[in-house]
Amino acid sequence: MDGFSKFHFKGVHEDEEIIRVLHRNWFYLLTQFLSLFVLTVIFFLAIGVVPTFLPGLLALQSREFLLFFENFFMLVVWIYGFLIWIDYYFDVWIITNKRIVDIEQNGMFSRRVSEMEYSKMQDITAQVSGFFPTILNYGDVKVQTAGEREEFVFKTISDPYLIKNLIFNMQKKESLHSTEELGEMIKEKIS
């Protein structure tokens, strides 16, 4: 567990140990950037083909407008690519020995941090659906609770069944620890 000593987050408890830090699978990032790349190629192919059908676009004023439009499009592609990276990099799920922390980045200036203690978990589900998720072993893990936020979803993470089992085992350990503490308290009251 020493590999996670460099990770920290605001609100970590003194006796808390980070077990696992999860990000989305690399294939998610690849598909996002691939779709952006295909859109860019289609745009530039269209820019190359349009002047043959509309020769008036080769006039000086039209070329300047076309150049402005190309630069504006590339700026939008760059910003959207940056937002894809931000969403990928800053969406983090942290599994500790006490709880699960879900840090979800929505855009540049919106972040939501939620946590769930193991004692409040009711159901843990791993779901892998599709050809590439099955081959590359990634999918979603859903953790349900009766609390205000009904469900934690670990989206497109690697080894979802392993993560599901890890969370389940941590929940069992926490439940066993709570039961032992309750037994000790009852013994003290009786004595």
The answer to the question of residue 178 being in a domain is yes
Domain that includes residue 96, residue range:
17-191
Supply the DSSP string of 84-95, one letter for each residue. HHHHHHH-EEEE
Closest-CA residue to 97 (of 174, 11, 186): 174
Whole-number pLDDT of residue 1: 42
- The pTM for the full model equals 0.75
Whole-number pLDDT of residue 57: 61
- How many CB atoms neighbour CB 104 within 10 A? 17
Whole-number pLDDT of residue 72: 94
- How many CB atoms neighbour CB 183 within 10 A? 10
Rounded to 5°, the CA angle 70-82-95 comes to: 160
Whole-number pLDDT of residue 134: 93
Structural domains of the chain, count: 1
> 10-18, long-range: CB within 8 Å, 24+ apart, which pairs?
11/101, 11/113, 11/115, 12/96, 13/98, 15/98, 16/96, 16/97, 16/98, 16/99, 17/96, 17/97, 18/94, 18/95, 18/96
The answer to the question of residue 3 being in a domain is no
Q: What is the pLDDT along the chain (191 residues), one digit of tens a residue?
A: 445 445 556 667 778 888 899 999 999 999 999 999 999 999 888 887 776 777 766 665 667 777 888 899 999 999 999 999 998 988 899 998 888 988 888 878 888 888 888 888 888 999 999 999 999 999 999 998 876 667 888 999 999 999 999 999 988 888 787 777 767 777 777 76
Continuous H helices in the chain: 26-53, 60-90, 131-136, 160-190
Coil, helix or strand at residue 40: helix
The answer to the question of residue 4 being in a domain is no
The answer to the question of residue 7 being in a domain is no
- Judging by beta carbons within 10 Å of its beta carbon (0-12, 13-18, 19+), is residue 168 exposed, middle or buried? middle
The answer to the question of residue 1 being in a domain is no
The answer to the question of residue 2 being in a domain is no
The answer to the question of residue 99 being in a domain is yes
Whole-number pLDDT of residue 38: 95
The answer to the question of residue 98 being in a domain is yes
